[in-house]
């Protein structure tokens, strides 16, 4: 979600309007009465004492910037449009992919390959044509974020990467806008409201980003589709409460959701940190920065690519294919979790999950050593026997190489351990298009 400048423009598809440069919109007017059709449309929430006509009029004058039109942004925007928010700004530089559809409920099969921002805007206009939907087909970066955030009343962070979280937080603090933030992964999620009524900002709680190799996203760790749906709906609820004047309970608490247990927990947050770099009494961050450099990772929800090994410790999928074609004796070690091996695998691979290798699991290591010894030809005992390691993307395989390079077992002999760059997804893209991608 970070970078600079608009993404490539896409042709018209599935009745979507042709993309155009969207200028920063002017503020919405505060109206004094509802039309007959609006009363009919919003009648179920108009009769709520907490909302009423005054709250509905405030909604119609409110603008919300949605950063990310994915698993969180889709349900969030859907409910905000249905509730009658005046304007929705939809930021996303990505396109709709088949793997999105199990959780990103605004998109359709007919819109595969289409801009997510435009796809979401088209779907929202069908829900409520009175809502202004402004798609921004761009990668949010320090050159664009502050200008956009200043043009909206509330910001919802629905991104899936650490650099964008810091970028959006800092932009909201500098612009004085409340930030409703959520995340979802596997069977868990969390939600908080930052920079609202004296509460902390994101940097107050997390002044330093986590090491990039410890961060997992949906592509790496998976997610059950309904989990971001629940968190996105809760985000929408907090936006509506802020917009109508009800306020929020999560500017001084974080909501933690455990889908497996069906349990919600509230964690009390520390108050605003007076020494915070961006919202403190003497801030050192007074302008937006290079957040990819700050976090040491790319601002994308795609799978991260690590570089832990030297080039001579790695082989490409093309090189490994040549090794197979030349029938070079070797052992291929698949270090993915069993749940991923069940999805797809190369038939020649030996299964040894990274978690077992990291634990120095004796049974796993002995089994692996035995397979290497069995595969080694007697004539090559004085040479380093080749061992190749593969995973999904070539990240875990690099960690495994470092572990296997330190193997010291009687009878193992010399081994040369290398990983396969890009892993099985590179194999599917470059060698065998029939190999499943996940």
> Catalytic residues, which ones?
218, 391
User: Is 71 labelled a binding residue?
Assistant: yes
User: Is 92 labelled a binding residue?
Assistant: yes
- Residues 340, 324: Cα–Cα separation, whole Å: 23
Orientation angle between helical segments 226-244 and 73-83, nearest 10 degrees: 40
User: Is 204 labelled a binding residue?
Assistant: yes
For every residue of 262-293, DSSP letters joined together read: TEEEEEEPPPP-TT-TTTSSS-S--S---HHH
- Residues 60, 429: Cα–Cα separation, whole Å: 47
User: Is 297 labelled a binding residue?
Assistant: no
User: Is 379 labelled a binding residue?
Assistant: no
Q: What share of the chain is helix, strand, coil (3-state, %, to 5)?
A: 35, 15, 45
User: Is 266 labelled a binding residue?
Assistant: no
Alpha helices in 222-353 (DSSP H): 226-244, 291-295, 317-325, 338-341
- Residues 209, 219: Cα–Cα separation, whole Å: 20
Pairing mode, strands 188-194 and 179-185: antiparallel
Contact status, residue 132 vs residue 88, Cβ threshold 8 Å: yes
User: Is 62 labelled a binding residue?
Assistant: no
For residue 292, is it left (φ>0), alpha (ψ between -120 and 50) or beta? alpha
Handedness of CA 55, 61, 65, 69 (dihedral sign): positive
User: Is 295 labelled a binding residue?
Assistant: no
User: Is 101 labelled a binding residue?
Assistant: yes
CA 191 to chain centre: 15
User: Is 432 labelled a binding residue?
Assistant: no
User: Is 158 labelled a binding residue?
Assistant: no
Q: Which residues, in sequence order, are CB contacts of 345 under 8 Å at separation 6+? A: 334, 351
Neighbours of 420 (CB within 10 A): 24
User: Is 279 labelled a binding residue?
Assistant: yes
Neighbours of 305 (CB within 10 A): 12
Per the annotation, binding residues for Zn(2+) are: 201, 204, 276, 279
| Residue numbers belonging to the annotated binding site for ATP | 71, 92, 99-103, 116, 160-161
Output the known binding site: 71, 92, 99-103, 116, 160-161, 201, 204, 276, 279
């Amino acid at each position: 979600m970070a970078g600079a400048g608009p993404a490539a423009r896409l042709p018209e598809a599935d009745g979507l309007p042709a993309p155009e440069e969207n200028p920063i919109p002017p503020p919405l007017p505060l109206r004094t009465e509802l039309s007959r059709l609006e009363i009919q449309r919003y009648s179920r929430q108009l009769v709520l004492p907490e909302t009423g006509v005054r709250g509905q009029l405030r909604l119609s004058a409110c603008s919300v910037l949605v950063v990310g039109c994915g698993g969180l942004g889709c349900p969030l925007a859907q409910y905000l449009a249905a509730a009658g928010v005046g304007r929705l700004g939809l930021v996303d530089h990505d396109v709709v992919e088949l793997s999105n559809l199990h959780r990103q409920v605004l998109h359709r099969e007919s819109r595969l390959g289409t801009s997510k921002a435009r796809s979401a805007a088209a779907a929202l206009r069908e829900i409520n044509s009175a809502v202004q939907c402004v798609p921004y087909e761009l990668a949010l970066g320090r050159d664009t974020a502050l200008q956009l955030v200043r043009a909206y009343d509330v910001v919802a962070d629905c991104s899936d990467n650490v650099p964008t979280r810091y970028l959006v937080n800092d932009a909201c603090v500098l612009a004085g806008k409340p930030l409703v933030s959520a995340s979802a992964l596997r069977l868990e999620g969390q939600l908080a409201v930052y920079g609202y009524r004296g509460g902390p900002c994101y940097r107050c709680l997390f002044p330093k980003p986590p090491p990039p190799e410890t961060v997992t996203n949906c592509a790496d760790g998976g997610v059950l589709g309904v989990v971001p749906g629940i968190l996105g709906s809760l985000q929408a609820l907090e936006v509506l409460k802020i917009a109508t004047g009800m306020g929020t309970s999560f500017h001084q608490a974080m909501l933690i959701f455990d889908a497996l247990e069906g349990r919600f927990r509230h964690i009390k947050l520390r108050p605003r940190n007076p020494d915070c770099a961006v919202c403190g009494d003497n801030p050192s961050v007074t302008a937006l920065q290079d957040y990819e450099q700050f976090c040491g990772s790319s601002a994308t929800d795609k799978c991260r690519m690590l570089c832990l090994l030297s080039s001579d410790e790695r082989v490409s999928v093309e090189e490994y294919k040549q090794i197979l074609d030349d029938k070079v004796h070797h052992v291929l070690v698949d270090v993915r979790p069993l749940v991923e091996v069940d999805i797809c695998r190369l038939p020649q691979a030996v299964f040894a999950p990274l978690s077992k290798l990291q634990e120095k699991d004796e049974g796993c290591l002995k089994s692996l050593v035995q397979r290497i010894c069995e595969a080694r030809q007697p004539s090559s005992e004085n040479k380093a026997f080749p061992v190749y390691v593969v995973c999904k993307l070539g990240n875990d395989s690099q960690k495994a190489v470092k572990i296997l390079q330190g193997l010291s077992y009687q009878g193992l002999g010399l081994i040369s351990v290398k990983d396969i760059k890009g892993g099985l997804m590179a194999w599917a893209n470059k060698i065998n298009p029939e190999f499943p991608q996940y």
